[in-house]
Amino acid sequence: MKSEGKTGAGHLISRMSSRYIKWTAYGLVILLTTILQSLPHFLPAIGYAKPILIVPVAVCIAMFEGPVGGAAAGIAGGFLWDLFSDRLLGFNALLLLILCCACGLLSQLLIRNNLLSSTLMTAAALFVQGLLNWFFYDLLLENEQALTALIHFTIPGFFYSLILTPPLYLAVYSVVRFLRSRE
């Protein structure tokens, strides 16, 4: 009897430690992605557009972890992104919370988690994020160059980020496979 209790407690501790290791690894991936995205000359600008790496990484994590894990990844990625940008603190965190929660829910209920579905979900998330960002920061603030910002920054940045989605998905997938092999 007593050995069963210890085995159950040992299993519980093992599960909790693997959960901490998993979320620490995801946190490090999000932090590394945020730092790489924020470096001025890490990825070259195409025209005036720079890629957004946080959205694909958070969406990929959401597709593996479901709505709750996706919401956590979205908040963490969005908040770090807000810290490194000149935007309103919490804007991207709230936006990525909603988008990643929806992506995680869709991946659990409706679609398979593969490269194609991840690319499509990332395209939808980048589209919504880019348009809302453009709407609130350029159009509502009556920027004189709002249409120019959409054409030269937002749309090329969308495609640039979308092209980088497959390697980011494979990076998150390799982290997930490594962590599942440890369990």
Strand partners, 46: 49
pLDDT tens-digit readout, 114-124: 999 999 999 99
Q: Which of the residue ranges 19-28, 49-58, 163-172 would you say has the lowest mean pLDDT?
A: 19-28
Distance CA 70, CA 53 (A): 16
The band of 9, judged by pLDDT with boundaries at 50, 70 and 90, is low
pLDDT of residue 174: 93
pLDDT tens-digit readout, 35-52: 999 888 888 888 888 899
* % of the chain at pLDDT higher than 90: 61
Q: What average pLDDT does this structure show over 97-104?
A: 96
Distance CA 117, CA 128 (A): 17
Residue 124 structure tokens: 């939808």
State the average pLDDT for the chain. 88
pLDDT of residue 62: 96
Closest C-alpha among 36, 63, 41 to residue 125: 63
Is residue 72 within 8 A of residue 22, CB to CB? The reply is no
Report whether pLDDT(109) > 90.
Answer: yes
Report whether pLDDT(6) > 90.
Answer: no
3-state helix, strand, coil in the chain (%, to 5): 80, 0, 20
